[in-house]
Amino acid sequence: MPITPRQLESIIRLAEAEAKMYLSDTVDVKHADSAIDLMNLFLNVTLGGDVDFAFFGVDADQRKKDSDPRILLRTIVKEAGPGGMDEKEIFDRMREEGGYRLEEVEKYLREAREKDGTLLKDGYDKWRTV
């Protein structure tokens, strides 16, 4: 798991504190391991293990959704439920939420249907998730 320089400094301070607690003159591997375990526990409890949340303000799932338009597309169509969604609605939502152009959305829809097989277009021109 990647950590920041500030977190590294914290681990060093924790390891030094543990060594002092055991009246040791040096910081040993066991002290460092204990400090790392404590830091991991803290990160998992407070941030769910997602260190970047502290920097970007969004969790890993949201960052992935933002970086991959196909995930956003599937999410939008899935939210429509079993009734499906019109192409125009999909275009509008993709433009609003991701700033994508019509041509891009058409390409992503085509890829999702033909290559990925994650979306299908029914006889009523509604897009649905598979």
pLDDT, tens digit (0-9, with 9 covering 90-100), for 8-38: 999 999 999 999 999 999 999 999 999 999 9
| pLDDT of residue 120 exceeding 70 | yes
Residue 43 has a pLDDT of 76
Tokens 């299908």 identify what position? Answer: 120
Task: Find out whether 63 and 52 touch, Cβ atoms under 8 Å.
Answer: yes
pLDDT one-digit tens code per residue, 90-111: 999 998 888 888 998 899 898 8
In DSSP notation, 17-86 reads HHHHHTT-SS--HHHHHHHHHHHHHHHHHHHTT-TTHHHHSS-HHHHHHHH-HHHHHHHHHHHTGGG-EE
Question: What does pTM read for this prediction?
Answer: 0.50
Q: What is the pLDDT of residue 91?
A: 92
Provide the greatest CA pair distance for the chain.
Answer: 76
* Distance (Å, whole) CA 2 – CA 50: 9
